């Protein structure tokens, strides 16, 4: 949900009273009944002052009579009546002044909150300008959420943009993202499904998000979706003490972060689609081998650990021979869609040969990558059933960046694991060095 400049500058004022709705001021007070009431009050205090003055004159000055007595009574009456009227009539004025001061103090607090928000907004824009890929944009989101919701447990849940279910969980520790982990069982998110922020005072509520209901402890839950070009790529998920939710201002700020990060990622994807076709495989739209290797070289240069997965479509030649070249091309495009739907923003999916695909997972262990590829094997079965294409499977070999001193050695290690997967019967994921 985006927030306009007018909303940012005006939301702090629109919380209960308008600018003209000053406390203690009621237009109905200026009425005939009010005037008569005040006149009656003045007359009553005057009579009371006269009685008090008479009593004082009789008891304190019993010998005084005539004009002197009337003068003393008049003076005492004026003094007593004036004191009573001053105390009574200035009370509303004092209350009004106190209300004005309270309102002014509240306005100063809100103006300071607005100033801090605008300063945060400026820093967020500058940080996103420096993010040159989707992973960096999500890292910026993590730092922003950690600052806004420092007293809560926060994570990024990434989803399959086609199916809409949660596939990866990335916890936010401090102001950084931890290594992502594939979820064991995919779940839907109410916020992602509705495309709007949802909150629950307890994850045990009947309508709470399925992914939150599976947490071990009872907590409050808030989900802010990340919507890129109309497609939900994930949610910012925050949990805290049961019954304690982020404030309205905090949720608005997190929504602004989600909107800004999503817009940045959408811009990156648009620029990527407009890149020269020489970087893209024309059949699948994935990175071509040269581009994929360049991405790996960038990770090596920046000392970022990574895992590679070399995938091979089992029996593609049989599909081409039995159903024709077009059926084989459709099979490759379908498998490419399955792979891109199962990875995180920032991961690399490329076509590496005729029936081979190469996936690169930055900051991801071989075990987590293998779990993700197992999920993709399951998705392939469902996608084939929905598309009505000839069935096929895929074999996968996995190696991490510690299993070779060069890119070629790492890829060769993954290829050996792929060969073992095929030798063991195909349609399986094999991690290099595991079970040898």
Residue showing tokens 């009227």: 85
Question: In this predicted structure, what is the pLDDT of residue 99?
Answer: 79
175 and 143 in contact (C-beta within 8 Å)?
yes
CA distance 329 to 282: 11
Question: In this predicted structure, what is the pLDDT of residue 275?
Answer: 62
If you ran DSSP here, which 8-state letter would residue 21 be given?
A: -
Q: What is the pLDDT of residues 129-151, one digit of tens each?
A: 888 888 889 889 988 999 999 99
Please give the structure tokens belonging to residue 182.
Answer: 């594939």
CA distance 222 to 240: 9
Backbone angles phi, psi at 331, to 5 degrees: -65, -40
125 CB contacts (<8 Å, ≥6 apart)? Answer: 260
308 CB contacts (<8 Å, ≥6 apart)? Answer: 296, 358, 359, 360, 361, 398, 399, 400, 401, 410, 411, 414
Dihedral of alpha carbons 88, 92, 93, 98, sign = positive
Q: How many CA atoms lie within 13 A of 249 on its CB side?
A: 16
Tell the burial category of 330 from Cβ atoms under 10 Å away from its Cβ (0-12, 13-18, 19+): middle
Question: In this predicted structure, what is the pLDDT of residue 27?
Answer: 43
Tell the burial category of 269 from Cβ atoms under 10 Å away from its Cβ (0-12, 13-18, 19+): middle
Question: In this predicted structure, what is the pLDDT of residue 18?
Answer: 43
In this prediction, the residues of the chain whose per-residue pLDDT falls under 70 are 1-94, 161-163, 174-180, 184-186, 275-277, 435-436
Closest CA to 78 of 42, 38, 39: 42
> Angle CA(364)–CA(370)–CA(376) in degrees, nearest 5?
110
CA distance 396 to 31: 86
Strands 231-240 and 220-228: antiparallel
Question: In this predicted structure, what is the pLDDT of residue 232?
Answer: 86
Buried b (16+ CB within 10 A) or exposed e, 69-97: beebbeebbeebbeebeeeeeeeeeeeee
If you ran DSSP here, which 8-state letter would residue 300 be given?
A: H
Closest CA to 319 of 267, 261, 384, 392: 392
363 and 180 in contact (C-beta within 8 Å)?
yes
Find the helix or strand (DSSP H, E) in which 10 lies: helix 5-10
CA distance 95 to 101: 10
3-class DSSP assignment, residue 103: helix
CA distance 137 to 262: 9
Percent over 70 (pLDDT), the chain:
74
Q: Count the neighbouring beta carbons within 10 Å of the beta carbon of residue 186.
A: 18
Question: In this predicted structure, what is the pLDDT of residue 9?
Answer: 44
Region of residue 364 (phi > 0: left; psi between -120 and 50: alpha; otherwise: beta): beta
Question: In this predicted structure, what is the pLDDT of residue 47?
Answer: 57
**Among the residues of 131-167, which ranges form H helices?**
134-148
Question: In this predicted structure, what is the pLDDT of residue 4?
Answer: 45
CA distance 116 to 104: 18
**What rounded mean pLDDT belongs to the chain?**
81
265 and 137 in contact (C-beta within 8 Å)?
yes
Residue showing tokens 């009789």: 58
CA distance 258 to 197: 10
Q: What is the pLDDT of residues 165-223, one digit of tens each?
A: 788 888 887 666 666 677 765 677 888 888 899 999 999 999 888 888 888 899 999 99
Question: In this predicted structure, what is the pLDDT of residue 76?
Answer: 58
Please give the structure tokens belonging to residue 97.
Answer: 């002044």
Strands 306-314 and 220-228: unpaired
First CA to last CA across the chain, in angstroms?
A: 51
CA distance 2 to 138: 17
Give the chain's domains with CATH numbers.
Answer: 5-14+26-127 (no CATH), 134-273 (3.30.450.40), 277-431 (3.30.70.270)
Could you tell me the maximum CA-CA distance found in the chain, to the nearest angstrom?
136
3-class DSSP assignment, residue 353: coil
297 and 287 in contact (C-beta within 8 Å)?
no
156 and 262 in contact (C-beta within 8 Å)?
no
């Amino acid at each position: 949900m985006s927030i306009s400049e007018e909303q940012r500058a005006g939301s702090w004022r629109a919380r209960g009273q308008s600018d003209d709705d000053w406390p203690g001021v009621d237009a109905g007070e200026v009425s005939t009944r009010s005037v008569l009431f005040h006149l009656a009050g003045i007359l009553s205090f005057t009579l009371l002052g006269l009685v008090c003055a008479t009593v004082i004159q009789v008891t304190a000055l019993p010998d005084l009579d005539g004009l002197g007595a009337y003068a003393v009574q008049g003076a005492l009456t004026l003094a007593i009546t004036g004191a009573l009227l001053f105390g009574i009539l200035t009370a509303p004025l004092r209350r009004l002044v106190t209300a004005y001061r309270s309102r002014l103090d509240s306005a100063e607090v809100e103006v300071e909150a607005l100033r801090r928000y605008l300063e945060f907004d400026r820093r967020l824009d500058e940080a996103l300008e420096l993010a040159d890929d989707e992973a960096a944009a999500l890292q910026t989101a993590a730092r922003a959420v950690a600052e806004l919701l420092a007293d809560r447990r926060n994570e990024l849940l990434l989803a399959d943009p086609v199916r809409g279910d949660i596939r990866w969980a990335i916890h936010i520790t401090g102001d950084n993202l931890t290594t992502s982990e594939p979820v064991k069982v995919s779940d839907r998110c109410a916020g992602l499904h509705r495309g709007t922020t949802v909150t629950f005072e307890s994850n045990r509520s009947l309508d709470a998000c399925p992914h939150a209901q599976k947490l071990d402890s009872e907590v409050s839950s808030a989900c802010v979706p990340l919507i890129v070009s109309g497609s939900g790529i994930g949610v910012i998920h925050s949990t805290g003490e049961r019954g304690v939710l982020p404030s309205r201002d905090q949720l608005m700020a997190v929504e602004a972060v989600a909107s800004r990060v999503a817009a940045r990622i959408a811009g990156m994807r648009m620029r990527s689609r407009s890149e020269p076709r020489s970087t893209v495989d024309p059949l699948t739209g994935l990175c071509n081998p040269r581009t994929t290797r360049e991405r790996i070289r960038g990770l090596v240069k920046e000392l970022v650990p990574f895992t590679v997965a070399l995938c091979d479509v089992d029996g593609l030649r049989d599909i081409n021979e039995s159903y024709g070249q077009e059926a084989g091309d459709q099979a490759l495009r379908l498998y490419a869609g399955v792979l891109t739907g199962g990875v995180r923003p920032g991961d690399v999916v490329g076509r590496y040969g005729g029936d081979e695909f190469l996936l690169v997972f930055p900051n991801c262990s071989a075990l987590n990558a293998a779990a993700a590829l197992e999920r993709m094997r399951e998705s392939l079965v469902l996608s084939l059933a929905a598309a009505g294409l000839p069935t096929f499977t895929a074999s996968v070999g996995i190696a991490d960046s510690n299993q070779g001193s060069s890119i070629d050695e790492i890829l060769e290690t993954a290829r050996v694991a792929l060969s073992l997967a095929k030798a063991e019967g195909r349609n399986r994921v094999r991690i290099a060095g595991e079970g040898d």
